[in-house]
Amino acid sequence: MREITADMIKELRERTGVGMGKCKEALVLAEGDMEKAIDVLRKAGMAAAVKKEGRETKEGLILAIEDKAHLVLVEANAETDFVVQNDRFKHFLHDCAKQALEAKSTSLAEFVQLPYYKDKSITIEQYRNLVIQALGENIQLRRLELIHKHPQSSYGIYSHMGGKLVVVVEIAGASDQEALAKEVAMHVAAESPEYLDAAAIPAQVLAREEEIAHSQVQGKPAQVAEKIVAGKLKAYTDQVCLTCQKYIKDPNVTVQQFVEKSGKHLSIKCFWRWKVGQ
């Protein structure tokens, strides 16, 4: 076999756009034959795909699927909404979500190196490159998250704008409250809370809000100023915390009060609000 030199690796990289490490691997497999190395990369779905890697992928879809014990969220992106709405792209996202759920994947970097369950001769990363070749755009798996379900919790999934925005809400206290959890998920989609409750607001964020509030009451008597500051902090909390927000379908109650109407033992434990590109 010919010696694999740095110049050969550099030439193959320039001709294909593939990373140095993969170029070296291809040259080793091709026993130093440049044209055969290019074929190796093309068969792996790399040579035609990686040249598109630098393009921005601002469009995309998010998918949430579940089984009895877990729920997985996956986001995939492309350059244009035209490709995002293509069935090939949607099948790619669904395949990735299905495999992530079955494999109980928690790391995207590890997930993309798994053998693709429909064709174990290629990895998920290579499958992605084949889809890039087929659709002609840069396609990225942006993020995934595996949620472990609690046996005494209910999970509501709400998908908005055809998968551009997906919300998952966990209601603790019962396993038969999916409809209630979905109602809360719809509220989260509309009102965009930043935190679950007041206790979840970071101390530095509260300190900043308090500093701003104090700057707005300079010159007022101390007792009056403190009441105004307290009022402003409460208004801020009511705006950014899910449990404190006015329920969108009934502004006479907070979201927490709405949940408690279905059972005093129920509470919102957690929520996930994913929007494409965030």
pLDDT of residue 183: 98
Structural domains counted in the chain: 3
CATH no. for residue 41?
1.10.8.10
| In the predicted structure, residue 174 carries a pLDDT above the cut 60 | yes
Least confident of 20-34, 170-184, 190-204, 228-242: 20-34
Instruction: Kindly compute the dihedral angle of the four CA atoms of residues 198, 201, 207, 210, in this order, to the nearest 10 degrees.
Output: -40
pLDDT of residue 55: 65
Residue 172 included in any domain: no
pLDDT of residue 47: 58
| In the predicted structure, residue 99 carries a pLDDT above the cut 80 | yes
pLDDT of residue 147: 98
157 compared with 50, residue with greater pLDDT: 157
pLDDT of residue 41: 81
Q: What is the spatial distance between Cα 257 and Cα 174, in angstroms, rounded to a whole number?
A: 16
Least confident of 5-14, 162-171, 179-188, 253-262: 5-14
220 compared with 185, residue with greater pLDDT: 185
Q: What is the value of pTM for the model shown? A: 0.80
Residue 264 included in any domain: yes
Q: Are residues 21 and 74 in the same domain?
A: no
Confidence class for position 51, pLDDT limits 50, 70, 90 = low
Mean pLDDT of the chain: 92
Tell me which residue range forms the domain holding 37.
Answer: 6-47
Q: Are residues 235 and 205 in the same domain?
A: yes
Q: Are residues 190 and 260 in the same domain?
A: yes
Residue 169 included in any domain: no
Residue 167 included in any domain: no
For the chain, percent of residues with pLDDT exceeding 70: 95
113-137 pLDDT tens trace: 999 999 999 999 999 999 998 999 9
| In the predicted structure, residue 17 carries a pLDDT above the cut 80 | no
Q: Are residues 84 and 63 in the same domain?
A: yes
Residue 156 included in any domain: no
| In the predicted structure, residue 240 carries a pLDDT above the cut 80 | yes
Which helix (H) or strand (E) element contains residue 159? strand 153-160
Q: Are residues 219 and 145 in the same domain?
A: no
| Burial of 72 per CB tally in 10 Å (0-12, 13-18, 19+) | buried
pLDDT of residue 206: 94
| In the predicted structure, residue 70 carries a pLDDT above the cut 90 | yes
Q: What is the spatial distance between Cα 38 and Cα 26, in angstroms, rounded to a whole number?
A: 8
Residue 101 included in any domain: yes
Residue 164 included in any domain: no
Q: What is the spatial distance between Cα 157 and Cα 177, in angstroms, rounded to a whole number?
A: 12
> Among 197, 175, 195, 102, which residue's Cα sits nearest to residue 144?
102
pLDDT of residue 144: 98
Residue 173 included in any domain: no
Q: What is the spatial distance between Cα 229 and Cα 189, in angstroms, rounded to a whole number?
A: 29
For the chain, percent of residues with pLDDT exceeding 90: 74
Q: Is the separation of the CB atoms in 10 and 19 below 8 Å?
A: no
Give helix then strand counts, H and E, for the chain: 11, 10
